[in-house]
Amino acid sequence: MTSRIIGTGSYVPEHSFTNTDMEKLVDTSDEWIAGRTGIRSRRLAKEETTSFMAAEAGRLALEDSQMDASELELIIVATCSAEEVMPNTACRVQQELQAVHAVGFDLNAACSGFLFALHTAHAYLRAGICKNALVIGAESLSRLLDWTDRSTCVLFGDGAGAVVLRQEETGILGLSQFADGSRGDVLTCGNSQNGNPLQETKESHPGKIAMDGQEVFKFAVRQVPACITDLLNHYGCGKDEIRYFILHQANARIIRSVAKRLDVPEAQFPMNMEQYGNTSAASIPMLLDELNRGGCLKKGDHLVLSGFGAGLTWGACLLIW
């Protein structure tokens, strides 16, 4: 018994923000951003909250699975940009979808969040704790950016993606996940600190994303191919058996470099960061949904998913569609 993805959904905010719009905010150019990252535009949330986008993506994933929300038993939302600390985003989604029999919690592993949430839900299903799960990656990182820092504000976008998992005989073959806290400082975002009576400052310091881009780049191009290779070897699966490698959409240069290191044609690494930027935990399920709805996935296809991000964290999943 394993778990299988039986449906997908995604949601992006209405408003696009192009590289040309960025040029009006910071000293940058479409040529620099597109050349270094592959990003030309991104969606920015205006009224949309993280929980709203999560629920919309979840609703579409349930529809695609032909499952009623009342049948759901577990909701996990991977996010590092929830609009509230409490209640968790998953409980907001439960209420919005009327998934009255589902238990829900959030999980933060930054850009690896969806992979880690998928792994957690898979473990619940394998252990027989529940029979199905809605796994969502949802982010509004635009609210956490320093909009005067051209080296980070051009990279990210908002959105949500979701999958429904169900206990089945075939589906997910294996997952791996890793963390290296010793290198956590290369990609950070503080939290608001109100202080307490024992602390000098009681001012609020809202967090903003800060990154050593080159260190993140080096980490990703080293660890992602290594963890994919180890996973494939572990399950005795050749890379020629894989139809698509669906990677976190941080940067086209990272993905091209991973393809080269794995010696796999770039065409097997679909990308959509050109339109959406880096949507962190949402990027893998958003791309999976695009491929699913575009008729690109056939039953029986072998897929590899791989995420990497702050923590540092990374991981991969091998599955049969």
**Of the listed 130, 153, 189, 248, which one is catalytic?**
248
Among 33, 93, 163, 164, binds ligand ACO (CB under 6 A): 33
The nearer residue to ligand ACO, 91 or 221, going by C-beta atoms, is: 221
Q: Is 278 a catalytic residue?
A: yes
Min separation Cβ 41 and ligand ACO, Å:
14
Spatial strand order in the sheet of 159-168: 2-11, 159-168, 132-139, 74-78, 103-107
CA angle 247, 270, 32 (to 5 degrees): 85
Min separation Cβ 209 and ligand ACO, Å:
8
The nearer residue to ligand ACO, 151 or 229, going by C-beta atoms, is: 151
What binding mask, one character per residue, do residues 155-194 give for ligand ACO by CB under 6 A, x or -? x-------------------------------x-------
Report how far apart, in Å, the C-alpha atoms of 134 and of each of 103, 163, 216 are: 10, 6, 30
The structure tokens listed for 237 are 């699966």
H or E element: which one contains 228?
Answer: helix 213-234
Q: Is 122 a catalytic residue?
A: no
217 lies in the binding site for ligand ACO (CB under 6 A): yes
**14-19 — which CB contacts under 8 Å span 24+ positions?**
14/43, 14/46, 14/48, 15/43, 15/44, 15/45, 15/46, 16/41, 16/42, 16/43, 16/44, 17/41, 17/42, 17/43, 17/44, 17/157, 19/154
* Residue tagged 């408003």 (tokens): 15
Q: Are strands 209-211 and 159-168 parallel, antiparallel or unpaired?
A: unpaired
The nearer residue to ligand ACO, 178 or 217, going by C-beta atoms, is: 217
The answer to whether 44 and 157 have CB atoms below 8 angstroms apart is yes
CA distance 190 to 223: 25
Q: Is 292 a catalytic residue?
A: no
**Of the listed 278, 292, 302, 317, which one is catalytic?**
278
Q: What is the footprint of ligand ACO within residues 72-111 (CB under 6 A)?
A: 111
Min separation Cβ 121 and ligand ACO, Å:
22
Q: What is the size of the binding site for ligand ACO (CB under 6 A)?
A: 22
* Residue number, nearest CB to ligand ACO: 213
The nearer residue to ligand ACO, 16 or 28, going by C-beta atoms, is: 28
Among 216, 271, 305, 317, binds ligand ACO (CB under 6 A): 216
Min separation Cβ 117 and ligand ACO, Å:
16
What binding mask, one character per residue, do residues 223-252 give for ligand ACO by CB under 6 A, x or -? ---------------------------xx-
CA distance 247 to 212: 21
Check whether the bond before 312 is cis (ω within 30° of 0).
yes
What does the DSSP 8-state code read for residue 174? E
The nearer residue to ligand ACO, 102 or 187, going by C-beta atoms, is: 187
Other CB atoms within a 10 A radius of the CB of residue 30 amount to 17
Q: What is the footprint of ligand ACO within residues 265-294 (CB under 6 A)?
A: 278
154 lies in the binding site for ligand ACO (CB under 6 A): yes
151 lies in the binding site for ligand ACO (CB under 6 A): yes
Among 213, 237, 268, 272, binds ligand ACO (CB under 6 A): 213
Roughly what angle, to the nearest 10 degrees, separates helices 50-65 and 89-97?
A: 50
One-letter amino acid at 184 equals G
Binding site for ligand ACO (CB under 6 A): 28, 32-33, 36-37, 111, 150-151, 154-155, 187, 211, 213-214, 216-217, 250-251, 253, 278, 308-309
Question: Which residues are identified as catalytic?
Answer: 111, 248, 278
